[in-house]
Amino acid sequence: MKIPFLTKKDEQSNIYYAEGTIPDHVAIIMDGNGRWAEKRGMPRFIGHKTGLATVVTVVKAAVKCKVKVLTLYTFSKENWKRPKPEVEFILKLPKEFLHVYLPDIQANNVRIEVIGNMEGLPAATQEALQYAIDSTKNNDGLQLNLALNYGSKQEMLQAMKRMFTDLVDEKVFLDQVDEEQFSKYLNTANIPNPDLLIRTGGEKRLSNFLLWQMAYTEFCFTDVLWPDFSEHEFKLAIEEYQSRKRRYGGL
Ligand code: FPP
C-alpha cells in the first residue's frame, strides 16, 4: 500500500521519506509478545523471539523515515517480577538479536546505546551489548537506545543522588539547578526528549518509561501486538503524529 505522506525521494539512498515533520525521537513500548503467542497456543517465549524480527523491521523503517533517535523499552525494572524462566529468556535476547542482526544494524549506519542499569544484566548479555556499543560508536545515522533494566522512577532517584553529591562537593550550586541541569544527570543526557511514543498491544499506560522525558510527547496507542507490528504500522503512527498540533501548554 502506498503511504501518501512519503513523497520526497532521497537521491543518495533512493528512498522515499516524509515531507512533513518527522519526529526526531520515537520511543516504543513493545507490548503484546506473550498474548501473540498465547493466541496461537504457543508458549510466551515464542512471542518474545518473534518480536526480535519486528525490532529489526522497525529499526529499518525508522532509518527510512529519517528518524534520528529510536528508544525501545526492552526490559523494565518491574519485569524482574515475571517467572524466572521468562526473565532469563528475555535477558538472553539482546545477545541473540545482536548475533543475528548486528550486520544489518551496521549496514544501516545505526549506533547502539543502552539506557538503564547494564550492570544488573547477565554477564554474557553485558558483553554482547558492550561489543555492539563499541563496534557501532562511529556510525552517524539512527541512534538506537535499548532501554534494559530500566525504570524511570529509579533513573530519577539515581540522578537526584548524583546531583546531591555534586551539590555537597560544590561542583554544582543550588541556584544553578533547573530542568536542564537535572536532565544532565539522567541516563538520557544529550538525547532529545521523545516526540512520539508508540505503545503496541492495546494497553494505555506508560509503565514507568521515560516519565520526565515524556512531559510533552505525543502518544500513539495501537491494538496491534508487537510481533505483528510492521513498517506500515510505524509509518501510520508517524502520520498520526504529523496530524497533531503541539502547543507545549501554549496557544
Ligand atoms: C512485553 O510483552 C515485552 C517484553 C517485556 C519484552 C520485549 C522484548 C522484545 C520485543 C525482544 C527483545 C528486543 C531486543 C532488541 C533485544 P509482554 O510479554 O508483556 O506481552 P503481553 O502483554 O502480551 O503479556
Which positions are annotated as active-site residues? 31, 79
pLDDT band at 22 (very low <50, low <70, confident <90, very high): very high
CA–CA separation, 219 and 199 (whole Å): 8
Q: For residue 132, what is its C-alpha cell?
A: 555492539
Looking at the CA of residue 37, tell me the nearest atom of ligand 1.
Answer: 23
The residue among 153, 247, 233 whose CA lies nearest residue 199 is 233
Degrees to nearest 5, angle at CA 231 with 216 and 192: 30
CA–CA separation, 66 and 24 (whole Å): 8
Which tens digit of pLDDT belongs to each residue from 83-138? 999 999 999 999 999 999 999 999 999 999 999 999 999 999 999 999 999 999 99
CATH number given to 8-241: 3.40.1180.10
The residue among 147, 153, 172 whose CA lies nearest residue 212 is 153
Residue nearest to atom 3 of ligand 1 (CA): 31
Per-residue model confidence (pLDDT) at position 251: 80
Contact yes or no for 39/27 (Cβ under 8 A): no
Q: For residue 68, what is its C-alpha cell?
A: 534520528
Predicted structure pTM score: 0.94
Domains of the chain, residue spans: 8-241
Query: Cα 33 to chain center, whole Å?
Result: 16
Q: What is the mean pLDDT of residues 57-74?
A: 97
The length of the chain, given as a count of residues: 251
Mutate to test the pocket of ligand 1, among 28, 29, 33, 114 (most ligand atoms within 8 A of CB): 33
More confident residue, 122 or 9: 122
In the Cβ-directed half-sphere of 227, how many Cα atoms lie within 13 Å? 17
Q: What separation in Å is there between the alpha carbon of 103 and the centre of ligand 1?
A: 23
**For the chain, what is the mean pLDDT?**
94
> Which residues form ligand 1's pocket by a CB distance below 6 Å?
30-35, 48, 51-52, 55, 72, 74, 79, 90, 93-94, 97, 146, 201, 226
**1 pLDDT above the threshold of 50:** no
Strand, helix or coil for residue 97: helix
Strand, helix or coil for residue 183: helix
Q: For residue 249, is it left (φ>0), alpha (ψ between -120 and 50) or beta?
A: left
Degrees to nearest 5, angle at CA 7 with 5 and 9: 140
Q: For residue 3, what is its C-alpha cell?
A: 503511504
